[in-house]
Amino acid sequence: MTETMEIEQERHVLVIFPHPDDEAFGVSGTIAIHTGRKTPVTYACLTLGEMGRNLGNPPFATRESLPDIRKAELQKAAEAIGIQDLRMMGLRDKTLEFEDDQKMMNLVTDLINELDPSLIITFYPGYSVHPDHEATARAVVRAVRAIEESKRPKLHCVAFANNTLEEIGAADIHYDIRHVYDKKLEAMKAHISQTIWMLKDLEASVAEEGSELHDRFNYEYFWTYTFDDKDKVTDIKS
C-alpha cells in the first residue's frame, strides 16, 4: 500500500457530483472524516439518477418511480456520513452535457460564492467516463478557474477512466479511511437499488486484509487539479 497522508482541516467542503451514489464508493470515507470533525460539508447532487437501469427483474421500480426511490436513498446515504447540507439541484440524468455550459458553470459559481469552500471535491475532467461526470467536472473547473488564483479553493478530483494512470499518473492524495469504513459501507448500502448486485460479494472480499478490494474501499484517492498546462478544459464557446 502506498503511503497515506493526514486529511487537512478545512473551513468548508463542497462536494459536487451528478448522481446519487457517485459520492458513496470513492469519497464517502473522506466526507465522514470531515463531518466527524464538525467541518461543514455541502453535497450538491445535480440529478436524481432518473435514468438508472437497475430496476430489477422482477421489477422493483419503474422509469417513473425511480427518482423518488433514489432521492430517499441519497438522503439516507448523506445521513450515514454526517452530511447536514444536501442539495438536490434538479437537473436531469444524462442531459448535463446538453445543458447550456454557462448555466452549468454559474450553478457552481453560485455555490462557491454562497459557501466560500476551502476544498471542492468532484470528478476529474477527461477521466471520469460518464458524460454527466465529465460535464460536471468541466463546470467545476471553469468556475474555479475564473476565481483569482490566490483565492481559489483546492480542487480534489476523482478519476477512474481506464487510461488514467498512463495519462495523468497516479493520484497524489491517498487517505486511509479504515476507521470510518463502517460509515462508508452504510452509505454504499443506502443506495441499495443501484448497489445490490455488487454488494452481495463485496463485503466478504473487502474484509480480507491486503486484497485488492480491501485497498480499493479502505483507501481513497484524489488527483489535485492544477490550472497549468495539465488543464485541458476549454473555455466556453460563445
Partner 1 sequence: MEPILPEKVQELINKFAGQEVYLHMETTNGAYASHFNEKFFSAGAYIRNAKLTYEHGKIVGDGPFRVGLKLAIGWVYAEGLTHYGFDESGHLLMAGHDFDGKLAVALQLGTTPFK
Given the rule CB under 8 A, which residues bind partner 1?
A: 51-59, 62-65, 67, 94, 129-132, 161-162, 197
Q: In whole angstroms, how close is the CB of 156 to Zn ion at the nearest point? A: 17
Q: Are strands 219-224 and 173-176 parallel, antiparallel or unpaired?
A: antiparallel
Residue 214, binding choice from Zn ion, partner 1, none, Cβ under 5 to 8 Å by partner class: none
Q: Which is nearer to partner 1, 101 or 132 (CB)?
A: 132
How many residues line the site for Zn ion (CB under 5 A)? Answer: 2
Residue 131: count of CB within 10 angstroms of its CB: 14
Residue 173, binding choice from Zn ion, partner 1, none, Cβ under 5 to 8 Å by partner class: none
Cis peptide before 67 (omega within 30 of 0): no
Q: In whole angstroms, how close is the CB of 133 to Zn ion at the nearest point? A: 6
Cβ atoms of 119 and 10 within 8 Å: the answer is: yes
What residue type is assigned to position 161 of the chain?
A
Q: Residue 88, class by beta-carbon neighbours within 10 Å (0-12 exposed, 13-18 middle, 19+ buried)?
A: middle
What residue type is assigned to position 71 of the chain?
K
Residue 95 C-alpha from the chain's centroid: 18
| Residues in contact with Zn ion, shown as a per-residue x/- string from 20 to 59 under the rule CB under 5 A | --x-------------------------------------
Say what the alpha-carbon torsion angle 194, 78, 49, 127 is, to the nearest 10 degrees.
-90
Residue 147, binding choice from partner 1, Zn ion, none, Cβ under 5 to 8 Å by partner class: none
Stretch that binds Zn ion, among 16-24, 113-121, 180-188, 205-213 (CB under 5 A): 16-24
Task: Give the position of cell 455488487.
Answer: 198
Q: Residue 177, class by beta-carbon neighbours within 10 Å (0-12 exposed, 13-18 middle, 19+ buried)?
A: buried
Q: In whole angstroms, how close is the CB of 25 to partner 1 at the nearest point? A: 13
Instruction: Check binding of 19 to Zn ion (CB under 5 A).
Output: yes
Instruction: Check binding of 134 to Zn ion (CB under 5 A).
Output: no
Residue 64, binding choice from partner 1, Zn ion, none, Cβ under 5 to 8 Å by partner class: partner 1
Stretch that binds Zn ion, among 18-26, 117-125, 166-174, 205-213 (CB under 5 A): 18-26
Q: Which residues bind Zn ion (CB under 5 A)?
A: 19, 22
